[in-house]
Amino acid sequence: MRKPIIVGNWKMNMTVTEAKAFANELKSLDLDSSVEKGICAPAIDLYSVKEILKDTDVKVGAENMYFEESGAFTGEISPKMLNDLDIDYVILGHSERREIFKEDDELINKKVKSALDHNLIPILCVGETLEERESGKAYEKVENQIRKDLSDVEKEAMEKIVIAYEPIWAIGTGKTASAEDADDMCKFIRELIGKIYDENASEVIRIQYGGSVKPANVVELMDKENIDGGLIGGASLKPDSFEKLVNFKRR
């Protein structure tokens, strides 16, 4: 059985002061222990958030990283730096990184391999634009991204890695893919992992849906066979909303 996994992606929100207040409030909430949960925060917040949450079962992740351990890469953070803080996850290939900051699959592949080498759990994001969906190219786009981003990644890593299917047209727009469409793509991804690796890999890989997930639609999405979790932006920014998302089983 795959453990459900609900992860917040704060994006470029939350000052250190705000992040500390959020983490302290989170500690006082009764969060379902049968659900894996975490917050991916801006790099500057990671130290404080991890310190506050270190004795809880809430994992902490970064929103990106470079693949090298150190060196002349102004503005970047490294896997070694994340290891030093005991960080659990790192989001890689988010569509905002791909579209705004022009990260390509070759770079994302290097980052995925580096994260795995450093014992970080990569949350690899894939997804199509509205134009690609409307022209019937969504599946081809996602297949291409996965094949390239996982190039030379070992089968054993499928137990660790999380894939987040995030249709770009559904991110921050209030438009959610229907639970059926989201599940169809997650099923397609699962079968693709089966083809690239084997059946066991397709059974263990955890696949999230992301794109306007909120307390009002989380139950319907999480009910779907191939959706193991959610990667959540806007609705993860308030502790009470994050609590409702994590505690989806109780509703």
Which residues in 143-165 are b (16+ Cβ under 10 Å) and which e? Answer: bebbeebbeebeeebbeebbbbb
Q: Is 79 in the site for ligand PGA (CB under 6 A)?
A: no
Q: Is 38 in the site for ligand PGA (CB under 6 A)?
A: no
Return phi, psi of residue 85, to 5°: -95, 5
Which DSSP category does 178 fall into?
P
- Alpha-carbon span 111 to 146, nearest angstrom: 14
- Alpha-carbon span 247 to 249, nearest angstrom: 5
* Selected catalytic residue, list 63, 94, 128, 132: 94
Quick one: 82 or 170, whose CB is closer to ligand PGA?
A: 170
Among 231, 242, 244, 246, binds ligand PGA (CB under 6 A): 231
Quick one: 103 or 197, whose CB is closer to ligand PGA?
A: 103
Burial label for 136, CB within 10 Å (0-12, 13-18, 19+), is exposed
Single out the segment in contact with ligand PGA by CB under 6 A; choices: 59-67, 81-89, 197-205, 231-239.
231-239
94 is catalytic: yes
Quick one: 38 or 233, whose CB is closer to ligand PGA?
A: 233
Q: Is 210 in the site for ligand PGA (CB under 6 A)?
A: yes
Output the smallest distance, CB 212 to ligand PGA, in A: 4
Which stretches of the chain are DSSP H helices?
16-27, 43-53, 79-84, 95-99, 105-117, 130-134, 138-149, 179-196, 199-204, 218-222, 239-246
- Alpha-carbon span 216 to 196, nearest angstrom: 35
Contact letters (x/-) for ligand PGA, 146-185, by CB under 6 A? --------------------x----xx-------------
36, 5 Cβ separation under 8 angstroms: yes
Which DSSP category does 224 fall into?
S
Quick one: 13 or 24, whose CB is closer to ligand PGA?
A: 13
Among 6, 26, 120, 213, binds ligand PGA (CB under 6 A): 213
Among 9, 64, 145, 226, binds ligand PGA (CB under 6 A): 9
Residue nearest to ligand PGA (CB): 233
- Alpha-carbon span 239 to 22, nearest angstrom: 6
* Selected catalytic residue, list 103, 128, 166, 243: 166
118 is catalytic: no
Output the smallest distance, CB 132 to ligand PGA, in A: 17
- Which positions lie near ligand PGA, rule CB under 6 A? 9, 166, 171-172, 210-213, 231-235
